[in-house]
């Protein structure tokens, strides 16, 4: 088969580093049918989060993670992070409980990977790890980010209070 491959990560995020290198958009050439790419739950979490960049529809995320409750103008970064996990088919039986952060059910890690959850003590902010840019820099996808919308940011790893690994969810 003759393929022309483009890294999905570079296409979606504009980042030149193909940090996920696991899924490639493959252009069909020569009339050959291509096998479906393998499903990668970590990439699915990142794709779900990236698909929402620019959105400020907090009600959508809350409806998924705390059904039947009107959260009004409550900060929704954690609800968004849990929503992204749900979209990837992970933690579907976990729901938001006021005053209890879902991520404390996950183990902390010093080696975050795409799809893991970053946590900041300041504002109790949660974000999805989008990519590891280099050994000291991480790209985050933030619900309730810049301008009250889903946004992408790059930050030094040392500024993140803790990273929580979704690895146990991948084997549940």
Confidence of residue 142 (pLDDT cuts 50, 70, 90): very high
- Residue by residue, DSSP assigns the chain as --EEEEEHHHHHH--SS-S--S-EEEEE-TT---PPPPP-HHHHHHHHHHTTTT---HHHHHHHHSTT---TT---HHHHHHHHHHHTT-STT---BTTB-GGGGSPEESS--TT-EEEETGGGEEEEEEEEEETTEEEEEETT-GGGS-EEEEEEGGGSSEEE--HHHHT-
This prediction has a pTM of 0.77
Average of per-residue pLDDT across 128-155: 97
Separation of alpha carbons 164 and 117, rounded Å: 5
CATH architecture of 40-170: Alpha-Beta Complex (3.90)
Domain boundaries, the chain: 40-170
| Structure confidence at residue 87 (pLDDT) | 95
Average of per-residue pLDDT across 11-31: 38
Average of per-residue pLDDT across 47-71: 93
């Amino acid at each position: 088969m003759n393929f022309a491959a483009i890294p999905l990560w570079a296409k979606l995020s504009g980042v030149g580093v193909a940090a996920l290198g696991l899924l490639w958009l493959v252009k069909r050439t020569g009339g050959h049918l291509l096998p479906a790419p393998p499903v990668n739950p970590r990439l699915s979490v990142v794709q779900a989060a990236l698909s929402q960049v620019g959105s400020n529809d907090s009600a959508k995320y809350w409806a998924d993670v705390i059904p039947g409750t009107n959260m009004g103008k409550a900060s929704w970064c954690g609800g968004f992070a849990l929503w992204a996990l749900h979209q990837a088919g992970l933690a579907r039986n976990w729901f938001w409980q006021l005053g209890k952060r879902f991520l404390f059910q996950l183990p902390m890690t010093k080696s975050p990977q795409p799809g893991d959850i970053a946590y900041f003590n300041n504002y109790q902010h949660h974000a999805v790890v989008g990519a590891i840019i280099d050994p000291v820099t991480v790209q985050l996808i933030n619900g309730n980010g810049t301008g009250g919308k889903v946004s992408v940011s790059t930050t030094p790893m040392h500024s993140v209070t803790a990273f929580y690994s979704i690895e146990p969810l991948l084997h549940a």
